[in-house]
Structure 1
Amino acid sequence: MDHRAVDQAKRINATGSPVLQFAGGGLSPEMEPPKLLWVKENLPESWAVAFRWMDLSDWLTYRATGDDTRSLCTTVCKWGYLGHAHLQHQSNSDTVAMEACGWDDVFWQEIGLSDLVEGQYTKIGKQGDMLHSQAIRLGTELGLLEGTPVGTALIDAHAGGVGVMEGVPSKDESITERMVLVCGTSTCHMAVSPEKVFIPGVWGPYWSAMVPGFWLTEGGQSATGALIDHLISSHPASSVLLERAKLQKTSIYELLNEILDTLASHPDVLFQGALTRNLHLLADFHGNRSPLANPDARGVISGLSLDDDPRSLALLYLAAIQGIAYGTRHIVEHCNSHGLQHVEVFLRTRSTCNNMQTSQARCSVILPREKESVLLGAAILGAVAAKKFHNVKEAMEALNAPGLVVEPSRHDTVQKYHDAKYKIFRSLYDQQVVYRQQLDAVLGC
């Protein structure tokens, strides 16, 4: 959610460094190089005394072991580390040993962070430290017994991917035909492929950053769960519904779904999605992470009225769910049109309104049996580190399991309706760009 480094990201991307092609063509302000440059420029005293710069994942591993081994997941996905450089695979192991450093000296020098190159990148993960799912040797202040294996950590969303990627009812289709949606404050859309695929505006390709031996493509929406929470909390009816939910010992989301079910039961309503025929929402309230890669984008709501009752909140909630789902459709269509193998199925880590999203995105949705998929992914890494399985892929196949399968509506009218709303969704962004250009011309920006 931290977008303070937008200016730094723009300056870094203006260098045209070859490193950028492995981040969708440009770094996001959500990644570490722009954030580090922001700290250096705005907090020079802190910059001068910093001993190490770490992601939370690597920090936890470090505190558990005393070993500064960095995760290939964090460094490749967020730091500009070229994990595919000079790889040497060890048979029957997920360890990825580096013959040479994957840091690009010229890149760090060009963006104004040449001081990190000193000491072979000791402050951000020195040469030869990149291991994936490797058991580490000792425990420390956390009470771990010495010799307890600790698996190298993953980013939270990527652990969720490990926790669901193999969770399908049938193993017939390829793992490359699946896309994992890890949903929380934001949403990550992750797919793997045997060959690297360069997709403008979509992060990656990242070598072995989630599933060992595969290239990771990572789309995303910067605010999804956070957007829904914002729309609910800022609506006049939220306090009434929150109090009602407390009394009924349920969630506000369940109450909103009940309101929508009641509204959809009216004989004049063909299906629930049609309730928002006059209400449209572009979900880029916190910028567009992909595929437009525009942190300056903003949200749009078309069709607001003066209504302030629970019904109006339920309709706004439905419009938000639809807008987020259309954003997913945009990402999938963009990825497929740029060479990613056709995505046939989504695997989601949380279940809020999944039934509303299948038709909009035109794919089946599989909910995993284990709702806390991020924790399951972490447990899989721990199981491999403890040598309970030979490798991550084997552990995933053994421990992932499907739950509910939700199919999209095949009704012709439903599909045509969502196709039409999707075109409106896309036009909301296009109109925003035109409006900005017109006013920028007036102001001389």
Structure 2
Amino acid sequence: FDEKGKLLGSASSPIQIWKEKDCIEQSSTDIWLAVCTAVKSACSLANVAAEDVAGLGFAATCSLVAVDADGSPVSVSWSADARRNIIVWMDHRAVDQADRINARNSPVLQYCGGGVSPEMQAPKLLWVKENLQESWSMACRWMDLSDWLAYRATGDDTRSLCTTVCKWTYLGHAHMGQWRELDSRDMEACGWDEVFWEEIGLGDLVEGNRAKIGRSVAFPGHALGSGLTPTSAKELGLLPGTPVGTSLIDAHAGGVGVMESVPEAESKADLSDEEAICRRMVLVCGTSTCHMAVSKNKLFIPGVWGPFWSAMIPEYWLTEGGQSATGALLDYIVENHAAAPLLANHAASQSVSIFELLNKILLSMAHEQNIPFLSALSQDTHVLPDFHGNRSPVADPKSKGVICGLTLDTSEKYLALLYLATIQGIAYGTRHIVEHCNAHGHKVLIFDQGFQRVTRYMIGCL
């Protein structure tokens, strides 16, 4: 990007992933190589020389990385494969550990919706300690992926306030000397509640001034160390000393930009900047969907993560809802249907995506049946989208999905109906989150209550 925010070039590079039942793993070495390839390609496409790069930052999923004292990967896999040193955010191996942590009812849990999720780091860490003792002994640093990328680039182990607050139970308001509650514990000016870690059986992580999980925590964008090290600069095709900012979680990085947008309807509502930013909800969609809203006052919402202080917008409290499987669910529904291979061939022959073709099929079906309300096509087919648990607001990782109304039809048209019903199920899940947040103090403005138009909008986005 240039200094005005114009995109000059972008590139991507594929990465590996291993999936075995509830265990989903990646390789930090593989990801770093992919990052280096993508950065070089993006600079080349943008025709930008290394000396023209003013700075860079990293955003990544909130996956857990394990490395030893030399920075080499430490396996977190039953396979003992050293490459597999990342427990991916959506990995659900630590459901039992999360239940046991939540049963203790520690005061810090009120700052993550009332309980930790198996998608967070404390349960995953406890799982490794209980199941992979050799790896537990070898690991010198446990890091969020975006923090590890920044560390790999600079050699500076400073962690992000975003990652630590949202995924590690770090108390950002305590970090800034605003601590005023949580019983009578002596928290000092630090956001780590060491009693919590000791209570859940991970007291060894806070030994040595919390060296394994983060001695230093800074706001996102804080300049790290002396910038790129000579080694990482060479690997990235950039110059040593190029500034690197403290990281953000991927969805939250998107949230920062979206929060700055001003919808036309909102601009007519005559709100101050502070009021307006507190009336918005950001949806960042991919494999899962994050629903993020901010407030000046902390709001405790059962089953919804947060309130997280300054985790996305400085000095605002973040509420983070979410659906654990959205894009992943659509892929699953489409790819596992009997008509999927034929659909893929037809899409390729027309040089369109599978989703564009499904949209065309739905519009054609609505026209054939003389149905002006497209969503009515799926009136006999319903999907409960909790195929990977319910992140919010039910907050049940053991929840299961349901498809009601299945027939023996194997046609492309019936696949299109399943696709539509899945989108509707996802949309209803979002509606549930928005209404639940508003019932507990948020005031998210909803300008379009028409479910038909919401569904069409989601299809258009896809």
TM-score (norm 2): 0.72
Assess if the C-alpha contact under 8 Å between 1:179 and 1:345 holds in 2: no
Q: Which of 202, 223, 228 is 1:135 aligned to? A: 223
Matched residue of 1:3: which SS? Answer: coil
CA distance in 2, matches of 1:294, 1:277: 27
Question: Hey, what does 2:65 align to over in structure 1?
Answer: none
Question: Hey, what does 1:116 align to over in structure 2?
Answer: 205
Question: Hey, what does 1:71 align to over in structure 2?
Answer: 160
Residues 1:228 and 2:330 are matched in the alignment: yes
Q: AA paired with 1:100?
A: A
CA distance in 2, matches of 1:204, 1:53: 22
CA distance in 1, matches of 2:96, 2:446: 37
Matched residue of 2:118: which SS? Answer: coil
Following superposition of structure 1 onto structure 2, how do residues 338-417 of structure 1 map, counting pairs within 5 Å?
338-344=440-446, 358-359=453-454
Q: AA paired with 2:195?
A: V
Question: Hey, what does 2:249 align to over in structure 1?
Answer: 155
Displacement of 1:146: 3.5
Displacement of 1:185: 0.3
Following superposition of structure 1 onto structure 2, how do residues 4-403 of structure 1 map, counting pairs within 5 Å?
4-87=93-176, 100-126=189-215, 128-136=216-224, 137-140=226-229, 141-143=231-233, 144-170=238-264, 171=267, 172-173=270-271, 174-344=276-446, 358-359=453-454
CA distance in 1, matches of 2:297, 2:453: 28
Displacement of 1:247: 1.7
Assess if the C-alpha contact under 8 Å between 1:223 and 1:285 holds in 2: yes
CA distance in 2, matches of 1:289, 1:345: 25
Matched residue of 2:281: which SS? Answer: strand
Q: AA paired with 2:260?
A: E
CA distance in 2, matches of 1:356, 1:201: 24
Assess if the C-alpha contact under 8 Å between 1:326 and 1:360 holds in 2: no
Assess if the C-alpha contact under 8 Å between 1:291 and 1:330 holds in 2: yes
CA distance in 2, matches of 1:145, 1:68: 20
Displacement of 1:341: 2.1
CA distance in 1, matches of 2:439, 2:277: 19
Assess if the C-alpha contact under 8 Å between 2:160 and 2:219 holds in 1: yes
Assess if the C-alpha contact under 8 Å between 2:154 and 2:232 holds in 1: no
CA distance in 2, matches of 1:307, 1:86: 58
CA distance in 2, matches of 1:65, 1:357: 49
CA distance in 2, matches of 1:44, 1:360: 48
Displacement of 1:160: 1.0
Assess if the C-alpha contact under 8 Å between 1:332 and 1:343 holds in 2: no
Question: Hey, what does 2:62 align to over in structure 1?
Answer: none
Matched residue of 1:188: which SS? Answer: strand
Displacement of 1:213: 1.2
Assess if the C-alpha contact under 8 Å between 1:283 and 1:324 holds in 2: yes
Change (3 A) 1:135 1:152: same
CA distance in 2, matches of 1:268, 1:247: 28
Q: AA paired with 1:69?
A: T
Displacement of 1:162: 1.2
Displacement of 1:9: 0.2
Deviations 1:340-393 (A, max 9, x none): 1233369xxxxxxxx9775469xx99x99xx9xxxxxxxxxxxxxxxxxxxxxx
Matched residue of 2:383: which SS? Answer: strand
Change (3 A) 1:202 1:185: same
Q: Which consecutive unaligned segments of at least 5 residues does structure 2 have?
A: 1-89, 179-186
Residues 1:3 and 2:92 are matched in the alignment: yes
Matched residue of 1:206: which SS? Answer: strand
Deviations 1:70-111 (A, max 9, x none): 00000000011001115159xxxxxxxx97221001100111
Displacement of 1:245: 1.2
Assess if the C-alpha contact under 8 Å between 2:339 and 2:412 holds in 1: yes
Change (3 A) 1:83 1:118: same
Change (3 A) 1:357 1:99: farther
CA distance in 2, matches of 1:86, 1:156: 22
CA distance in 1, matches of 2:413, 2:161: 47
Q: How many pairs does the alignment contain? A: 349
Assess if the C-alpha contact under 8 Å between 1:203 and 1:217 holds in 2: yes
TM-score (norm 1): 0.75
Assess if the C-alpha contact under 8 Å between 2:162 and 2:219 holds in 1: no
CA distance in 1, matches of 2:191, 2:412: 54
Q: AA paired with 1:142?
A: S
Q: AA paired with 1:66?
A: G
Assess if the C-alpha contact under 8 Å between 1:133 and 1:152 holds in 2: yes
CA distance in 1, matches of 2:220, 2:232: 22
Displacement of 1:120: 1.3
CA distance in 1, matches of 2:391, 2:213: 25
Assess if the C-alpha contact under 8 Å between 1:87 and 1:99 holds in 2: no
Displacement of 1:336: 0.6
